[in-house]
Amino acid sequence: MTTTAPTLTPTTRALAWCLHLLVVGLLALAAGRALADHRPYAGWVLAAAVACGLVYAAGPVLPGISRSRRAAALWLTAVSTVWLVLLALSADGVWVAFPLYFLQLHLLSRRAGLTAVVATAVAAIAGFALHQGSFNAAMAIGPALGAAVSVAVVWGYQALYRESEQRRRLIEELTATRADLATAQHTAGVLAERERLAREIHDTLAQGLSSIQLLLRAAERTLPQAPENAARYVDQARQTAVDNLAEARRFVAALSPPALEGTTLAGALERLCATTSTRHRITARFHLTGEPVPLPTAHEVALLRIAQSALANTVRHAHATTAEVTLSYLGDHVAVDVVDDGRGFDPAHLPVPGPEAGGFGLAAMRARTQALGGTLAVESVPGHGTALAAQLPLTPSAETRPEALP
């Protein structure tokens, strides 16, 4: 049976060296007292102590001792055999039993180690009694107490070591989990930023390019018969391209839309309606209800983008003649409503968003309103126009997501 040796720490190295010094010290004590007192077999005692020390010293050198319990058991058997010889020659050999307890408990399995400790304690008590020529309870107290202390210390250390390993594994798992969480948060942030960029591109650049396309088509249709009208359409397309370029530059710089610079949201919406009426065959009118109050920049940008996208959809798809844009301050809410008299559609059968089919507009509007804790409602019936209402709370909720910002 093999076992993996625990990684030595400075503390475990210090304990190992203390154990080595204790063994050497006790062997030297036994040999020194035998020589100093001129006891019988003093030379044999010295030889047994040296032999025990040499066998013991071979253990830390041999690599298999720390990896194989079988090799450890053979080595402990050799050390114990030489120790028994020393115990038979000198009563002072009984003290060497104490470090042997620690070795047996550390290197053997729990059951085998406990058995070896009991056998060593019994041998120590018996050997000391034989040297004294008698036996009493006091002779058993020392080795027995030493064995009990050794068992308590080693088993306590092993329990602490297991707990320490569990904590180390838990820390590693927590570290790995934190890394996974950081990766997931980064991925979520990237996806949120992509979604925000998609909304911004759809509501600014894509809508502007679509308007330019419509104006150029109108110029193409009127060019042979009415070149002055064609020139007007081309001029409007050029101005739209200029506005789109400004949007693109501010978009790259992550600033507010140019339409909001130096004006209020109401002013920006009124200018949007005027520009739409001038550039396309539709009459867009702006209405303001309620008492205007300062709005967070994110709210102004979201409502302006929603109105831009809704009017662009009306121009492209509705074939409407009029569109009404209403900005309403409703106490604790602010709302933008866009109503047209176009051909309408079935909200339950919208096209799947895609490069060819379109369909990004309503999804982007809904994402904007939800990100700011608001709601978006669309009512439409084929042949009866469309009404769109976006409503945002004036007090941002705690669940407002940062990706809602422009």
Please tell me which residue, 66 or 166, carries the higher pLDDT value: 166
Contact indicator for 390, 365 with CB cutoff of 8 Å: yes
Q: Are strands 283-289 and 322-329 parallel, antiparallel or unpaired?
A: parallel
pLDDT at 357: 42
Least confident of 59-68, 323-332, 367-376, 394-403: 394-403
Q: Is the model's pTM score more than 0.85?
A: no
pLDDT at 355: 46
pLDDT at 116: 84
Q: How high does pLDDT run on average in the chain? A: 80
Least confident of 234-238, 277-281, 360-364: 360-364
Res. 401 pLDDT band, cuts 50 70 90: very low
E strand residue ranges, 166-244: none
pLDDT at 203: 66
From the list 342, 325, 242, 236, the residue with the least C-alpha distance to 280 is 236
Which pLDDT tens digit goes with each residue over 178-230? 888 877 887 787 777 677 677 667 666 677 777 788 878 877 778 777 777 77
Angstrom distance (rounded) from CA 300 to CA 290: 16
Residue 331 gets which letter from DSSP?
S
Region 287-308 average pLDDT: 90
Percent of the chain scored above 70 by pLDDT? 85
Q: Are strands 375-380 and 333-340 parallel, antiparallel or unpaired?
A: unpaired
Across-strand partners of 68? 2
Res. 352 pLDDT band, cuts 50 70 90: low
Reading phi first (left if > 0) and then psi (alpha if -120 to 50, else beta), residue 77 is in alpha
Which pLDDT tens digit goes with each residue over 242-276? 777 777 766 655 555 666 767 889 999 999 999 88
Query: Dihedral through CA 18, CA 23, CA 28, CA 30, nearest 10?
Result: 130
Res. 393 pLDDT band, cuts 50 70 90: very high
- Look up residue 136 and give its two tokens: 């009493």
Please tell me which residue, 90 or 355, carries the higher pLDDT value: 90
Angstrom distance (rounded) from CA 78 to CA 60: 14
Helix (H, G, I), strand (E, B) or coil at 299: helix
Angstrom distance (rounded) from CA 87 to CA 99: 14
